Amino acid sequence: MLLIVCGRIVIRVGSIGNMAYAKPDRLFLREFGLRVRKLREAAGWSQEDFAEHCNLHRTYIGSIERGERNVAILNIRKIAAALRISMSKLLEDIP
């Protein structure tokens, strides 16, 4: 956790990897990861199979599913394509 103090203002943020994210961002990444996991499992794929379909590394898929990655838009496109859904559907209703 990172504590930023500026005058009287104190901001606490958590961190994922080397990057610091505010709580709403961490929650978004976690929810996105859970959505990816749910859709992958519904398709009947292991993380390794899914990674192959996405042309991404297996450990990267795992870290996305755990909410540890701020996923690049191009990788979101790869994930959506592998799941045969639109990017908007993949991101739909994630708070």
Q: How would you write the pLDDT of the chain (95 residues) with one tens digit per residue?
A: 555 556 666 555 555 555 688 999 999 999 999 999 999 999 999 999 999 999 999 999 999 999 999 999 999 999 999 999 999 999 999 98
Give pTM, 2 decimals.
0.79
CA distance 8 to 38: 43
Residue 61 is assigned to a structural domain of this protein: yes
Q: What total of structural domains would you count in the chain?
A: 1
Q: Of the candidates 61, 47, 54, which has an alpha carbon nearest to the alpha carbon of residue 84?
A: 54
Residue 14 is assigned to a structural domain of this protein: no
Residue 38 is assigned to a structural domain of this protein: yes
Q: Which structural domain, as residue segments, surrounds residue 53?
A: 29-91
CATH number at residue 76: 1.10.260.40
What pLDDT score does 20 carry? 80
Residue 56 is assigned to a structural domain of this protein: yes
